[in-house]
Amino acid sequence: MSEQLPKLAGQKWLIISHAFNMDGRAASQTITDKIPYLMEKGIVPVVISAQTGERDTVVEHYQVPAIAPSGLKFDLRHILKKHIRSPFWYRAAKGLANVILLPLYFIERAMIHLESQWSWFVMAYLKGSRIINEQHPAVIYSTGGANSAHFAGYLLARKFSIPWIAELHDPMIHGDWRGTAMAYKWAAYLERLICEKADAAWWFTEGALAKAMARNPELGDRGHMIIPGVQEPDFQGAIYRRQEKLHFGHFGSLAETRNLAVFIEGLYRLLQDYPDYKQLVQVDIYGSRLDPVSRTALQQFPLPEVVVEHGRLESDPVTGKSGRQQVLEAMRMSDALILLHGSDPFCEEYIPSKLFEYLWSKRPIIGLVWKNPQLEEILRQRGQISLNALDVEGVKAALLALLKKWQAGQLHDCETLAPFTVQSAVEKITKIVAAVSGTSQNQEHRPV
């Protein structure tokens, strides 16, 4: 007979998340979406975060600063943006803050070449120590995002002998490292700490878990893969209706490492072969402007009046809808959605968080994927298109097929499989913690 796992209701969990309640950040959404489901299970979250997000009004939430100039510079930029609405005064205040911090910032950068949030662990550790002494949480849960959250979690677990679980959003190190040698060594050290000392740790993809375990075989069965999912977005009842043009939508950021160049070239070649389609296609870019690589591709393969840059939408004073709400409705009403994965080695261990919102929208997806069998399988299982990220001819053929379906009125909503839910992720996490708690109750806690 299997051993009865302890109940989690009534437990306090100390959650350490640098980006908690930071609007628009995947690192924030991943943890903030989980809070209601943790509370449904009777778990009491106590959160430590940076000062960059909004202070939570539901859970006990402490915001602490970084102590190094680079961290203060990062924090101040976001704090000022929260409190100063005027673009002029925001730039003026940010400029003044930069001038004050600049001498110390240069001294830091001359000696320490780490991510700007590296020093945040100091205040997170001090605040965490006080909370543990006063409230005695059952679990320390570090999530990032910023690697400093995991270091704070490790230090607190070592000092207080409390079970520590770690959630890693992205691979901490990878073969396409573009940071400094010091940053690589620091990240590798933290990954090793997690794999050796955490009571449980999980990654968001099978590839990331496999690579981490290959580097750190001592992780063993304490390592897990949990797809985070997202809460169902509020589409405000928006319904897809065929319009006069086929609208391809890209939502989210663009960068030189994640760009539209292959998509643009594929569409250009298609329209060269089928010029009648030029008046029937529009590519809508929401959330950012074109990156330099995409813009260069558009100059080389011009698509006049086809690519429309909407940028970051602001609140609409007429309808009262927020920019976020307008984006969600545009996503739901697009004919097809563009999912960009990139083409770096890093992508083999990464799934874009935007995928999970796309799946909730139920619209057809054309995914440009780089050597990630898990992502390819997710798309194909749901009847979506998965192509090699560099396959221009494949893009051209897929776009032609979508155009023909659109003309025939057959670009229906995709409801093959349910989207990935936050609730499912929380179920897996709580089972892991229950097992960890049961082990720690029956034997001396594994030293950290």
CA angle 6, 29, 72 (to 5 degrees): 110
What are the tens digits of pLDDT across the range 374-389? Answer: 999 999 999 999 999 9
Relative to beta strand 60-63, strand 139-144 is: unpaired
CB 246 within 8 A of CB 321: no
What are the tens digits of pLDDT across the range 329-357? Answer: 999 999 999 999 988 888 889 999 899 99
Phi first, then psi: give them for residue 387, nearest 5 degrees. Answer: -125, 155
**Dist. CA 24–CA 28, nearest whole Å:** 8
Encoding tokens for residue 424? 């499912």
The greatest distance separating any two alpha carbons of the chain, rounded to the nearest whole angstrom, comes to 73
Q: Determine how many CB atoms are found less than 10 A away from the CB of residue 178.
A: 10
The angle that helices 87-111 and 69-83 make with each other, rounded to 10 degrees, is 170
- According to CATH, the superfamily of the domain at 246-407 is Glycogen Phosphorylase B; (3.40.50.2000)
The tens-digit pLDDT sequence of the chain (448 residues) is 334 445 788 899 999 999 999 876 788 889 999 999 999 999 999 999 999 989 999 999 999 999 999 988 888 887 887 778 788 887 888 888 888 888 888 889 889 998 889 999 999 999 999 999 999 999 999 998 899 999 999 999 999 999 999 999 988 888 777 788 999 999 999 999 999 999 999 999 999 999 999 999 999 999 999 999 998 999 999 999 999 999 999 999 999 989 999 999 999 999 999 999 999 999 999 999 999 999 999 999 999 999 999 998 888 888 989 888 999 999 999 999 999 998 888 888 999 989 999 999 999 999 999 999 999 999 999 999 999 999 999 999 999 999 999 999 999 999 878 889 999 999 999 999 999 876 655 444 454 5
CB 18 within 8 A of CB 50: yes
Q: Determine how many CB atoms are found less than 10 A away from the CB of residue 110.
A: 8
Torsion of CA 88, 94, 99, 101, to 10 degrees: 170
Cα 59 from chain centroid (whole Å): 22
Question: Bridge partners of 247?
Answer: 282
Q: Do domains 12-68+112-230+422-442 and 246-407 have the same CATH topology?
A: yes
> pTM for the complete prediction?
0.87
CB 321 within 8 A of CB 231: no
Cα 283 from chain centroid (whole Å): 24
- According to CATH, the superfamily of the domain at 12-68+112-230+422-442 is Glycogen Phosphorylase B; (3.40.50.2000)
Annotated domain spans of the chain: 12-68+112-230+422-442, 246-407
CA dihedral sign, ordered 350, 314, 55, 13: negative
